[in-house]
């Protein structure tokens, strides 16, 4: 009888601990239709004569990994694209210890050719796409982190190329995990070099303070939860 109870308890704990295959571990929520989107792209254009235009805009939002940790298989962000956008790749980063004016520590990062999926959402002349980088396999220990996924955009038109990508703001609709897109703990890192040699930067700006509202952004992580082993004390109680 005790063996049956132990088997049932272990099975129950296994189900509660999380999925065996890749599932959504954290999703910050759907695009809320607001105008608080932010530049989220890598762009470079040779303007000739030794002059160039470069812009790197990265949005970071926080998520919490619970006890046991996660095995991460993919990361994604939701981005509003103009019709002229051509994506050549994407980068991603997971950081710890981020605060206003402080980029914290990079704990995992990479790049790849993303899968783009039309979400069916958008606004005006912008269509929203999920930018997904898959094929990952690394462990995240319990704690609070910040995710960024940024597409790289080809600029082949004139200097006034109107190819734009913005990270979609969210209020947490259909969110999974913690926090659910409503705590305003997001940051923006921007570097722009103009053709005339001038630059414009925003280094890990607190977006909620920047806009004067609670600002969160649509992105997510998939993988599996690492099962917390059943404690020896519990097993001893069951066997006695």
Kindly list the domain boundaries of the chain, sorted by start residue: 21-226
Residue 8: the pLDDT is 34
Q: In angstroms, rounded to a whole number, what is the distance separating the alpha carbons of residues 234 and 34?
A: 50
Q: In angstroms, rounded to a whole number, what is the distance separating the alpha carbons of residues 169 and 128?
A: 11
- As a whole number, mean pLDDT of residues 199-213 equals 96
What letter would DSSP give residue 198? -
Model confidence over 9-47: pLDDT tens digits? 333 333 333 334 589 999 999 999 999 999 999 998 887
Determine the number of helices (DSSP H) and then strands (DSSP E) in the chain: 3, 17
Bond preceding residue 229 cis, omega within 30 of 0 = no
119: pLDDT strictly greater than 90: yes
Q: In angstroms, rounded to a whole number, what is the distance separating the alpha carbons of residues 59 and 93?
A: 10
How far is residue 95 from each of residues 31, 120, 128, 221, measured CA to CA in Å?
A: 23, 30, 25, 14
pLDDT higher at 13 or 59: 59
Model confidence over 122-134: pLDDT tens digits? 999 999 999 999 9
Residues near 1 by beta carbon (within 8 Å), at least 6 away in sequence? none
Q: What is the pTM of this model?
A: 0.85
pLDDT tier at 237 (50, 70, 90 boundaries)?
very low
Residue 159: the pLDDT is 56
């Amino acid at each position: 009888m005790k063996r049956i109870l132990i088997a049932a308890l272990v099975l129950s704990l296994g189900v509660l601990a999380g999925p065996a295959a890749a599932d959504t571990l954290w999703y910050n929520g759907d695009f809320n239709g607001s105008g608080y989107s932010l530049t989220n792209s890598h762009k470079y254009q040779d303007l000739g004569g030794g002059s160039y235009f470069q812009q790197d805009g990265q949005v970071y939002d926080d998520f919490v990994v619970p006890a046991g940790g996660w095995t991460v298989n993919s990361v994604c962000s939701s981005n509003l694209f103009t019709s002229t956008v051509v994506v050549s790749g994407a980068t991603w980063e997971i950081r710890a210890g981020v605060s206003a004016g402080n980029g914290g520590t990079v704990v995992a990062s990479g790049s790849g050719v993303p899968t783009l999926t039309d979400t069916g959402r958008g606004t005006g002349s912008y269509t929203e796409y999920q930018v997904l980088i898959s094929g990952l396999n690394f462990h995240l220990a319990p704690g609070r982190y910040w995710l960024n996924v940024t597409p790289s955009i080809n600029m082949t038109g004139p200097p006034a190329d109107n190819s734009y990508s913005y990270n979609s703001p969210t209020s947490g609709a259909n969110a999974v995990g913690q926090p659910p897109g409503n705590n305003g703990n997001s940051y923006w890192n921007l570097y722009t070099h103009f053709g005339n040699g001038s630059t414009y930067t925003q280094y890990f700006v607190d977006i909620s303070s920047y806009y004067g509202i609670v600002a969160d952004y649509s992105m997510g992580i998939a993988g599996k939860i690492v099962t917390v082993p059943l404690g020896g004390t519990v097993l001893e109680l069951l066997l006695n």
